[in-house]
Amino acid sequence: MLFDYDYKINIPHNIIPDKRFALFSAKRMLPEYVFDTLQLENNPITFPEVQTLINGITIGGHKISDVQQVLNIKSAWNLMLDAVQGNTFTVSKAMFHSINDVIAREESLEWGKFRTGRVGIAGTKNYIAPLYNELDEIFECELPIILDGKHEVEQSIRLFLWVALNKFYWNSNRRIAYLLANGILVNAGYGVFNIKVEDILEFNTLMVEFYENKQANSIVKFLAEKCIKYIAK
C-alpha cells in the first residue's frame, strides 16, 4: 500500500555525513531514544529506570511486560547498530524479520515473520490493512519504489510511513519502522530519527489522518522538520 505527498524535504547543505560519528552519537544517546520510543507505547517506566535497565541492573515495581519491552527495544537498537558498524545493514526482508524477532518477542502473537491474519488501527474508521496473504508481494513490489532515487533522509521518512501503513506484523510496526529509519540515517552518517515526548500528541494525530486518507503531506512535513536529528561534528 503506497501513499502520496508533494511536500519537498530540504536537506541542510552544511551537513557532512560521517558514519563513524553518527554511530558514536547514537550509542551515546541510546537511553534517550529507548525512552522516547517507550512513550509511544504508553510504557510507564521512567528515564532513570531505562538507564538502569540498559546498564544491566534490574528494577522493581513494574509489570514484567513493561520491563521486557524496554529490554526488547534496547536489544533491537543494538542489533541495528551492530549491523551498521559491521557494514551488514540492509533494508531487506531478512533485516525486517530480524528486528521484529527481537522487538516483538514475548509481546506479539508471533515474531520474526509477517502476520498471518487481519489487523486494524485503533482510532481509525476507514483504514483497512492489507490482507496477510498479500504482504510478501507488497514488500517485493513496493519497497524498491519507496527507496528508489531518494536521498537517505527521505528514504528514512518514506520507509517509516510505509511500514507503519502496511502493518506487516501483528504489532510493534511503528517500532520496527522507527528502527529501520534510524538504520538508514545512521548508516548514511546523517543522524537519527526520533520522536520526542513533547511531540507525541501531534504525531499521533497526524498519523491517524495519514492512515485514514493515505495523504502524507502533513506527517512528512512533521517528520522532516521535527524528527530528523542531524549529527554534525
Q: Per-residue confidence at 62, pLDDT binned at 50, 70, 90?
A: confident
Walk me through the domains of the chain, giving residue ranges and CATH numbers: 19-55+63-230 (1.10.3290.10)
Residue 132 Cα distances to 23, 115, 169, angstroms: 35, 6, 9
Beta strands per DSSP E along the chain: 191-193, 228-230
Q: How many CA atoms lie within 13 A of 10 on its CB side?
A: 5
Say if residues 87 and 183 touch (Cβ distance below 8 Å): no
**DSSP assigned state of 192:** E
CB proximity list for 80: less than 8 A, separation 6 or greater: 89, 99, 179, 180, 182, 183, 186
**Which pTM does this prediction carry?**
0.91
Q: Residue 224: name the closest of 150, 125, 116 by CA.
A: 150
The pLDDT tens digits of the residues spanning 101-129 come to 999 887 777 888 999 999 888 888 888 89
pLDDT the model gives residue 172: 87
DSSP states of 91-109 as a string?
SSHHHHHHHHHHHTTTTSS
Say if residues 65 and 108 touch (Cβ distance below 8 Å): no
3-state secondary structure of 114: coil
pLDDT the model gives residue 232: 63
Average pLDDT, the chain: 91
